[in-house]
């Protein structure tokens, strides 16, 4: 029997991490083909992951001793925590080097970044023309190093040039939908994305849906289940034919299946508020400067930003997303209902360091 593939996944308690783990739980060959270790900060949650068939490792992605050792022992690392953490990337790279020195084999590092790397600051007033294609590395290399997430992505790409690991950088766009499955039903992972629930909470607070500027900025979107579908496809290709998997500058994978304007989302929220009795007017109203500061603080520029990309390379692997903007907008009322029912409708501060193009938030 072939040896089980050893995988370390960070961010198991997050939105995307939990969804990916559910995919593996559903596989009949889960126990026989995979040895999946999960890094969790909560000692209380660790036994629950163990009971599902995972191997829990208690610690943080910035805990050097834990992280370096954990990374050094596996064939594939799936990073799903803070994509803006230089220390997390450095410790992962250090562990990958240790793995190579001990085994002579190159492990794969699947880093989850985000399409926030492509943003243009338009303040909700217009959309842009440049569309970033993940099959065009020359175009992607024109991105400024100051773009969101880009400093971490560049650090990984630079380290790969030393030859001791291979990297694939996955860029989800605006991910939507309430995640379901064993990890969410048991309370181990966070079932909600960031942006749409945030805008719903803001609308409930002011009793009127809103947007930055005129809401003309455009973003790509993708359903959470279809995001989770991509990772096993990529992992299977790594296992079956590692030499054929595009990596490094060729290994950028956008995840998107449609696009929307900020006004589209605000309008759907406005209609849902009226339908549920939490508002009297469904027409979105532009946020005032005071509201921008109150609700979004330093992140207001991201809320009003423009982002354009397509997922050519990801689709070339057989990834075939079906859900569109109509599905996203059609689920807004249900999202509000769930937030209210579960007591999560109160306005919370926007999560530091997270933007619409990377919303895999961990809740340990």
Residue 361 has a pLDDT of: 29
- What are the pLDDT digits (tens) for 303-320? 999 999 999 999 999 999
Q: Is 345:336 a contact under the CB 8 Å cutoff?
A: yes
In DSSP terms, which residues pair with 6 in a beta bridge?
A: 35
Q: Is 258:220 a contact under the CB 8 Å cutoff?
A: yes
Whole-number percent of the chain with pLDDT over 70: 95
Helical segments of the chain, H only: 15-25, 30-33, 46-52, 64-72, 86-103, 137-140, 150-160, 182-185, 195-206, 224-240, 262-276, 289-296, 300-303, 312-316, 325-330, 332-341
Residue 348 has a pLDDT of: 65
The superfamily CATH assigns to domain 5-118+132-176+223-255 is NAD(P)-binding Rossmann-like Domain (3.40.50.720)
Decide if pLDDT at 118 tops 80.
yes
Decide if pLDDT at 362 tops 50.
no
Residue 52 has a pLDDT of: 97
The dotted CATH code for 192-221+257-341 is 3.90.25
Indicate the helix (H) or strand (E) that contains 253: strand 252-255
> Can you give the C-alpha Rg of the chain in angstroms?
20
Mean pLDDT over all residues of the chain? 94
Q: How far apart are CA 165 and CA 34, in angstroms?
A: 20
Please, which residues have CB within 8 angstroms of residue 241's CB and are 6 or more apart in sequence?
none
- What are the pLDDT digits (tens) for 331-357? 999 999 999 999 999 886 444 334 445
Decide if pLDDT at 233 tops 70.
yes
Nearest to 174 by CA among 43, 63, 262: 262
> What pTM was computed for the model?
0.94
Q: Where are the domains of the chain?
A: 5-118+132-176+223-255, 192-221+257-341
Over residues 177-206, mean pLDDT:
96
Nearest to 191 by CA among 362, 8, 10: 362
Q: Is 298:214 a contact under the CB 8 Å cutoff?
A: no
């Amino acid at each position: 029997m072939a040896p089980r593939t050893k995988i370390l996944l960070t961010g198991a308690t997050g939105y995307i991490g939990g969804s990916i783990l559910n995919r593996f739980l559903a596989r009949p060959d889960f126990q026989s083909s995979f040895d999946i270790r999960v890094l969790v900060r909560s000692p209380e949650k660790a036994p629950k992951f163990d009971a599902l068939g995972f191997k829990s490792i208690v610690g943080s992605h910035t805990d050097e001793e834990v992280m370096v050792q954990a990374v050094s022992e596996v064939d594939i690392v799936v990073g799903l925590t803070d994509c803006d953490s230089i220390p997390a990337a450095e410790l992962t790279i250090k562990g990958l080097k240790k793995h190579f020195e001990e085994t002579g084999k190159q492990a794969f590092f699947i880093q989850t970044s985000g399409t926030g790397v492509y943003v243009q600051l338009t303040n909700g007033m217009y959309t842009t023309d440049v569309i970033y294609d993940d099959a065009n590395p020359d175009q992607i290399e024109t991105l400024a190093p100051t773009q969101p997430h880009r400093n971490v992505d560049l650090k990984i790409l630079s380290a790969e040039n030393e030859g001791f690991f291979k990297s694939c950088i996955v860029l989800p766009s605006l991910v939507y939908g309430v995640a379901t499955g064993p990890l969410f039903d048991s309370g181990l992972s966070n079932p909600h994305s960031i942006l749409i629930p945030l805008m719903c909470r803001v609308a409930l607070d002011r009793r009127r849906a809103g947007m930055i500027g005129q809401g003309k900025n455009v973003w790509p979107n993708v359903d959470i289940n279809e995001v989770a579908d991509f990772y096993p496809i990529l992992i299977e290709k790594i296992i079956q034919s590692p030499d054929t998997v595009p990596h490094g500058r060729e290994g950028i994978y956008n995840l998107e299946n449609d696009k929307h304007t900020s006004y589209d989302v605000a309008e759907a929220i406005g209609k849902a508020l009226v339908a549920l009795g939490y508002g009297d007017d469904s027409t979105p109203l532009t946020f005032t400067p005071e509201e921008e500061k109150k609700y979004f603080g330093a992140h207001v520029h991201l809320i009003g930003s423009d982002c354009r990309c397509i997922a050519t390379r990801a689709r070339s692997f057989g990834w075939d997303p079906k859900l569109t903007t109509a599905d996203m907008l059609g689920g807004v009322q249900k999202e509000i209902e769930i937030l209210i029912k579960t007591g999560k409708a109160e306005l919370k501060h926007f999560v530091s360091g997270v933007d619409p193009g990377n919303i895999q938030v961990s809740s340990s």
